[in-house]
Amino acid sequence: HGCDGLRLAPGPWQLPVIGSLHHLAGQLPHRAMRDLARRHGPVMFLRLGEVPTLVVSSREGASEVMKTHDTTFATRPLSATIRVLTNGGRDMAFAPYGDYWRQLRKIAVMELFTARRVLSFRAIREEESRPHFRLDMDAVKSVIFDIFGAGSETSTTTLEWAIAELIKNPKVMHKATAEVRRVFEARGAVAEHALGELPYFHLVIRETLRLHTPVPLLLPRECQEPCQVLGYNVPRGTQVLVNAWALGRDERYWPDAPEEFRPERFEGGAAAVEFRGTDFSFLPFGAGRRMCPGMAFGLANVELALASLLFHFDWEVPPAAEFDMSETFGLTARPKAKLLLRPVLRVPIVGVLSTGKGDR
- Return residues touching ligand HEM (CB under 6 A): 92-93, 105, 152, 154-155, 158, 214-215, 218-219, 284-287, 290-294, 297-298, 302
85 vs 353, beta carbon nearer ligand HEM: 85
Q: Measured between alpha carbons, how far is 213 from 52 in angstroms, rounded to an integer?
A: 24
CA distance 133 to 360: 6
- Give the helix/strand (H/E) hosting 340: none
Residue 150 Cβ, how far from ligand HEM at the closest point, in Å? 11
Is the separation of the CB atoms in 142 and 134 below 8 Å? no
282 versus 311: smaller Cβ distance to ligand HEM: 282
Q: Which is nearer to ligand HEM, 11 or 89 (CB)?
A: 89
Cα 302 to Cα 294: distance, rounded to the nearest angstrom: 12
**To which H or E segment does residue 241 belong?**
strand 239-242
Minimal CB distance to ligand HEM: which residue?
Answer: 286
* Helix H or strand E encompassing 134: none
* Residue 221 half-sphere exposure toward CB, CA atoms < 13 A: 29
Q: Which residue type, as a one-letter code, is found at position 284?
A: P
CB nearer to ligand HEM: give 38 or 102.
Answer: 102
98: left (phi over 0), alpha (psi -120 to 50) or beta: left
Question: Between 140 and 213, whose beta carbon lies closer to ligand HEM?
Answer: 213
- Output the smallest distance, CB 251 to ligand HEM, in A: 22
Q: Which is nearer to ligand HEM, 49 or 98 (CB)?
A: 98
Least distance between ligand HEM and beta carbon 155 (Å): 5
Give the residue with the Cβ less far from ligand HEM, 152 or 228.
152
Quote the least distance from Cβ 348 to ligand HEM, whole Å.
Answer: 30
Q: Are 118 and 193 in contact (CB under 8 A)?
A: no
- The minimum distance between CB 357 and ligand HEM, in angstroms, equals 33
CB of 217: closest distance to ligand HEM in angstroms? Answer: 9
For 199-217, letters b (16+ CB in 10 Å) and e give: ebbbbbbbbbbbbbbbbbb
Describe the strand order of the beta sheet including 51-56 as a list of residue ranges: 43-48, 51-56, 239-242, 221-222
SS3 201: helix
Residue 152 beta carbon to ligand HEM: minimum distance, rounded to whole angstroms: 5
Task: Pick the closest to residue 3 from 45, 35, 36 (CA basis).
Answer: 45
